[in-house]
Chains A and B, each alone.
Chain A
Amino acid sequence: MITQNMINVEHLEPSDISSQSPLWWGQVCIVAIEATMFSILMAAYFYVRLSVDVWPPAGDQFPHTLLPSIALLPLILSAFGSYWASQAAKKNDRTGMLLGMGLNIILATVFFVMRIIEWHSLNFNWQTDAQGSYVWAFLGLHSFDYVADLAFTIVLFFIVLSGRYAEKQRLGVHVDSVVWYFIVAIWIPIYVVIYWGPQIVETQ
């Protein structure tokens, strides 16, 4: 090579914790995939619901609304814990990350315990009829995502606690919050559909 025009990038940071990171875009893609899945489940729910007159079918109880409504409080607050941790990750504030993730984990666990109690009170399951299948599909898929991301947050918590972390792990804390916001946010329309839908839409 002879003399050439060169752009020198030596001065650029060797890592970045923000939406400029490719990993952040990867997480957005995961969120898009999951959001599509839940949207299709919702469309399918209405498709089946609108093809019958009586919903839920005779014998199935109306889902209770009290406990799931109370459970929204810890769920939404857990997103603030996640936000706190992600801001702390940008500033490399270890205490902030631990407190934020800790708050996230505790509140997320509280919500999940409430969900399990609610599950046990349902008098139908996925084998009962189509209504049961579709309601349990929401509960199952959302719980799967929920537990998976909660488990990752717990792992990240212990990595940060151990002190064995650097930019990559901080970026992990940051992008973990992206998925968590989604898991919290998508539950709200699902909650409206499966708990309030049968109550509000007039049944014969």
Chain B
Amino acid sequence: MNQTEPIPNSSEREAQALRDLENSWQTPRGMIGWLSCTTHQAIGMRYIVTAFIFLLAGGIEALLIRLQLALPNNTLLGPDRYNEIFTTHGTTMMFLFAVPMMEGMAVYLVPLMLGTRNVAFPRLNAFGYWIYLAGAIFLYWGVFTNTAPDAGWFSYPPLSGPAYSPGKRVDFWAQMITFTEVSAMCVASELIATIFKMRAPGMSLNRIPLYCWSMLVQSFMVIFAMPAVMIASSYLLSDRTVGTHFVNPAEGGDPLLYQHVFWLFGHPEVYIIFIPALGFVSSIVTANSRREIFGYPGMVLSIVATGFIAFGLWVHHMFATGLPQIGEAYFTAASMMIAVTSGVQIFCWIATLWTGRLRMTAALHFVFGFIAIFVLGGLTGVILASVSLDVQVHDTFFVVAHFHYVLIGGALFPLFGAFYHWFPKITGRLMNEAVGKLNFWILFIGFNLTFFPMHILGLKGMTRRIYTYGSEMGWELGNILATIGAFIIAAGGVVFLINIFLSRNRGEIAGDNPWDADSFEWAAASPPKSYNFEYLPVATSRYPLWVAASERTFVTGLRNDRREVLVTTLMDAEPHHRLVLPRSSLWPLLTALAVTIGFIGSVFNAWYITYGSILTGLAFVGWFWPRLPVETKP
């Protein structure tokens, strides 16, 4: 099968092939074309831009929180508004920013890194985006009509139950969960199928880029974790709307069960956000150390192990609920185990950096920031894993400090590094490196100034979610420092946005591979064509762009006049069959609308579950209805 033959040197045939590819992969122009788009680059960008807007919204909410807490006895927001704002902040950051952002980056990058032309299910991909957008608009519709949720981002009953939270606030929250989880499951399924079956020939399991490994593990975690939160939020919603008693203790239900089911999702959720960031770090470290990653098998095994262990930790969020001691001991041990897998990866990166020829790019600055902050957050994590210490600082600002260290340090810093690293691929222009490094230092200093004092505030007894405090508590210094820090972070965000907008139009032209990096996305044009690669690449090494140009291998024989990709075998990525992917379609949008009618309607009237299901069923029939001619010609 592996035969050497010259490429047809007729430039005319080459030009015709490119025209065919362009025609079959382009999205129709105009509004209808935009709405029916199914290419992964466009959908990925929509996720990234939308999620970024919600990062800004969540950031503004964070500033409001910090303004309220800046001074003792402050009355800027008042208790009710404060509840709404911290709930919306947490909800936005977890469900509307972090997960969709990571999914969007993967939708953009994974097909490029695997050397294929789209995700396995392009229409499902579009559907997932529309559902996410609908859920996000739904929540913010509530926020702007004085129906913002106010029971915390995990909405524990009985507080969030019908007796203590009348009105529709919590219903909006619970149904927004359903939207975003459906969206995440769509992306997870398509990424699993893509990574399993659409890798470049030769990209056997031991050659998959670490970023794709991390997205594979993350996708499996989404599949096993997201159903839990859908069940938890459905328990809550149906208790509130149709009078069930899932978590109602008066009729035999159990509010503690809600906590179990929620955290069975909630803890893996942290890793669902964090594991893709590990992938970013591996890519950035490899490219900027200009050497192979140290300990690839150990890295892969650590990511996979993290995926498993993450499901055995959830009870450490519930140590204060009075569970049996044997259970607490088990979950303490399991929680500490996660330090081992994280540690292995940190040491592998340090070894790679140590022995590499470093190029101190802005992206690498963010990686160093990540390592510093994440290790600190990890150390407080080990503290919180211990029952005796956890019970002391439970529900205090110590916990707030811890999870911002692991989430901002563990996910946001790598994400910003990833923006600097892949921006030239996405736009064709480099971001300004000097401004990037300034951006990093502002964020790094602002971050530590905001969140480090919170450790001390927590130890001094400042609890989470109080809207103000008296001046006799001795919490003034820490709070004012945190508020100043928060505005420094905001300034860092502004610098980033300025850098984006200036570089987008005036940045230096990047070329295909500005970092001389190793993986396939850098073999595509910057920005990538709608078909990614004229000839699909073959992976002859774990670092396919670092082999000699004369040894690079490509795939020929795919048809260019339709959206054809290559399906390979699961383990060894041997070519197996060709697959024709669907073209643009409006059905994903129409189906998403049908689902939205059902989801939103059912918050107000349970019968909308039936109406929505019927509409969705009809939309799916339209989606799958065979188009003429139906044959797949060879």
Q: Using a CB–CB distance below 8 Å, which chain A residues touch chain B?
A: 1-16, 20-23, 25-26, 29-30, 32-34, 36-37, 40-41, 44, 47-48, 51-52, 57, 126-127, 129-134, 136-137, 144, 148, 151-152, 155, 159, 164-169, 172
Closest to A155 in B: B621
Are the CB atoms of A3 and B7 closer together than 8 Å? yes
Question: B99 an interface residue at 8 Å Cβ cutoff?
Answer: no
Are the CB atoms of A137 and B246 closer together than 8 Å? yes
Are the CB atoms of B578 and A13 closer together than 8 Å? yes
The contact of A8 among B5, B223, B226, B242, by CB within 8 Å, is: B5
Question: B472 an interface residue at 8 Å Cβ cutoff?
Answer: no
Shortest beta-carbon contacts, A-B, top 10: A10-B557, A130-B252, A29-B189, A22-B120, A166-B630, A133-B244, A5-B553, A22-B193, A16-B577, A36-B227
The contact of B4 among A6, A57, A144, by CB within 8 Å, is: A6
Query: Please, which residues of chain B bring their CB within 8 A of the CB of A127?
Result: 242-245
Are the CB atoms of B254 and A9 closer together than 8 Å? no
The contact of A164 among B14, B124, B556, B630, by CB within 8 Å, is: B630
The contact of A168 among B196, B197, B253, B626, by CB within 8 Å, is: B626
Q: How far is the CB of B401 from chain A (nearest CB, A)?
A: 32
Question: B194 an interface residue at 8 Å Cβ cutoff?
Answer: yes
Q: In the complex, A5→B201 CA distance in Å?
A: 13
Among A4, A22, A57, chain B packs the most CB atoms within 10 A around the CB of A22
Could you list some 5 contacts between A and B, CB below 8 A? Answer: A40-B228, A52-B252, A127-B243, A127-B244, A137-B246
Knowing A40-B227, A48-B257 touch, does A6 contact B632 (C-beta < 8 A)? no
Q: How far is the CB of A155 from chain B (nearest CB, A)?
A: 6
Among A21, A37, A130, chain B packs the most CB atoms within 10 A around the CB of A130
Are the CB atoms of A25 and B197 closer together than 8 Å? yes
Knowing A13-B578, A155-B621 touch, does A5 contact B551 (C-beta < 8 A)? yes
The contact of A165 among B242, B246, B626, B633, by CB within 8 Å, is: B626
Q: In the complex, A130→B238 CA distance in Å?
A: 12
| Other A-B pairs beyond A14-B564, A25-B192, 13, CB < 8 Å | A1-B7, A1-B535, A8-B5, A22-B197, A25-B120, A34-B227, A36-B224, A44-B261, A47-B254, A127-B245, A130-B251, A130-B252, A168-B626
Q: Mark B237-259, 1 if CB is under 8 A from A, else 0.
A: 01000111110100111100100
Q: How far is the CB of B137 from chain A (nearest CB, A)?
A: 25
Q: In the complex, A132→B243 CA distance in Å?
A: 11
Are the CB atoms of B243 and A6 closer together than 8 Å? no
Closest to B219 in A: A29
Total cross-chain contacts (CB, 8 A) = 208
Interface SS of chain A: helix
Closest to A167 in B: B632
Q: In the complex, A130→B253 CA distance in Å?
A: 5
Question: B567 an interface residue at 8 Å Cβ cutoff?
Answer: yes
Are the CB atoms of A22 and B632 closer together than 8 Å? no
The range of chain B's interface size is 35 or more
Are the CB atoms of B630 and A20 closer together than 8 Å? no
Knowing A47-B257, A48-B254, A169-B630 touch, does A15 contact B579 (C-beta < 8 A)? yes
Q: Mark B432-462, 1 if CB is under 8 A from A, else 0.
A: 0000000000000000000000000000000
Q: Which of B550-586 contact A (CB under 8 A)?
A: 551-559, 564, 566-567, 569, 575-580
Are the CB atoms of B244 and A37 closer together than 8 Å? no
Among A41, A44, A47, chain B packs the most CB atoms within 10 A around the CB of A44
Query: Please, which residues of chain B bring their CB within 8 A of the CB of A36?
Result: 223-224, 227-228
Q: In the complex, A22→B257 CA distance in Å?
A: 37
Q: How far is the CB of B583 from chain A (nearest CB, A)?
A: 13
Query: Please, which residues of chain B bring their CB within 8 A of the CB of A8?
Result: 1, 3, 5, 555-557
Question: B628 an interface residue at 8 Å Cβ cutoff?
Answer: yes
Query: Please, which residues of chain A bring their CB within 8 A of the CB of B579?
Result: 14-16, 21-22
Query: Please, which residues of chain A bring their CB within 8 A of the CB of B253?
Result: 48, 130, 133
Knowing A4-B552, A133-B246 touch, does A166 contact B577 (C-beta < 8 A)? no
Q: In the complex, A44→B258 CA distance in Å?
A: 9
Among A7, A44, A167, A169, chain B packs the most CB atoms within 10 A around the CB of A7
Q: In the complex, A80→B354 CA distance in Å?
A: 60
Are the CB atoms of A51 and B254 closer together than 8 Å? yes
Are the CB atoms of B245 and A21 closer together than 8 Å? no
Query: Please, which residues of chain B bring their CB within 8 A of the CB of A172?
Result: 624
Closest to B249 in A: A130
Question: B321 an interface residue at 8 Å Cβ cutoff?
Answer: no
Q: How far is the CB of A29 from chain B (nearest CB, A)?
A: 4
Q: In the complex, A7→B535 CA distance in Å?
A: 10
Q: In the complex, A51→B245 CA distance in Å?
A: 14
Q: In the complex, A148→B194 CA distance in Å?
A: 26
Are the CB atoms of A9 and B575 closer together than 8 Å? yes
Closest to B633 in A: A14
Knowing A9-B558, A40-B227, A130-B252 touch, does A166 contact B632 (C-beta < 8 A)? yes
Q: Mark B1-29, 1 if CB is under 8 A from A, else 0.
A: 11111110000001000000000000000
Q: In the complex, A41→B230 CA distance in Å?
A: 11
Q: In the complex, A32→B628 CA distance in Å?
A: 33
Are the CB atoms of A155 and B227 closer together than 8 Å? no
